[in-house]
Amino acid sequence: MSDLGFTHIALAASDVDASISFYAKYAQMTVVHHHIDQATQSDVAWISDLTRPFVIVLFPLSLD
């Protein structure tokens, strides 16, 4: 049976790098994609534990 669950979830983070460190330490997740969004000039990271086709997308919290 194939996995019919979520493929990703997007979370706003006040500090993307600190969030990456947190998930690496406590959930054994690693960055699988990291870029600067050209429209917003924001740091965006996709992280995964590489056990299933699922990522957490981290992007900066905007207070605007």
Sheet holding 8-13, edge to edge: 8-13, 55-60, 42-48, 30-37
For residue 53, the one-letter residue type is P
pTM: 0.85
Dihedrals phi, psi of 6, to nearest 5 degrees: -65, 150
Q: What confidence score (pLDDT) does residue 33 get?
A: 97
Confidence of residue 61 (pLDDT cuts 50, 70, 90): confident
Tokens of 15: 């500090």
Transcribe 7-43 into DSSP letters.
Answer: SEEEEEES-HHHHHHHHHHHH--EEEEEEEETTTTEE
Q: What is the DSSP letter of 45?
A: E
